[in-house]
Chain A
Amino acid sequence: GAGVSQSPRYKVAKRGQDVALRCDPISGHVSLFWYQQALGQGPEFLTYFQNEAQLDKSGLPSDRFFAERPEGSVSTLKIQRTQQEDSAVYLCASRPDRFRGSEQFFGPGTRLTVL
């Protein structure tokens, strides 16, 4: 079956541009997560959705970052007025239920480079 997919896989943006990163979770998965992974670091939590509700956005680094999941399936992470420090791999993960003990499945990530 299909796993978590993300698009685009690579994105180059000029500083100040807005970008939108898409995540297609595994069909039927209730929970969806976004992470940011800087070069040489482990992923860091950005935000969490349960169906269409954004339950935790404590990891979003600034108000330039915005995430949505309007119909409880596909999610978009938007970054406004990109800065060089936004360069990173953005990972999306989904989980079949809302239980914290269950496994998360990760997509391949979107590598964002801000020039």
Chain B
Amino acid sequence: KQEVTQIPAALSVPEGENLVLNCSFTDSAIYNLQWFRQDPGKGLTSLLLIQSSQREQTSGRLNASLDKSSGRSTLYIAASQPGDSATYLCAVWGAQKLVFGQGTRLTINP
């Protein structure tokens, strides 16, 4: 059974810092990995999708990497801003369904 773990559960940093969110998964047989953002009381906004054959994806200040063999992904956020404050969820698409981690709650302090 696929299990996804995100570390840390919560992170608070001052504005302007670069930061890394971590995601690990137990079964390397995945089709893709997706990073989402969730604001309080809102649905999920897709940030980046990495196919299993890819190593990384970039969008603006965000960069996500995927190491399938070690079961790890990282989301790198450059020059963080208060508007980046949200919960970040990692999810992997395996044999049957999308399996999510519990998320990292990120707070960027002005």
Contact = CB atoms under 8 A, between A and B. Distances in A.
Given A101-B51, A103-B34, A91 B97 contact: no
Interface stretch (B66-74, B76-84, B98-106): B98-106
Interface residues of B, number: 25
A103 B49 contact: yes
- Chain A interface SS verdict (over half): loop
B46 interface: yes
Contacts, number: 60
Report, as a range, how many residues of chain A touch the other chain: 20 to 34
B12 interface: no
Given A40-B102, A111-B41, 12 more contacts: A41-B102, A42-B89, A42-B103, A44-B100, A48-B96, A56-B97, A91-B44, A100-B32, A106-B36, A106-B45, A108-B42, A109-B42
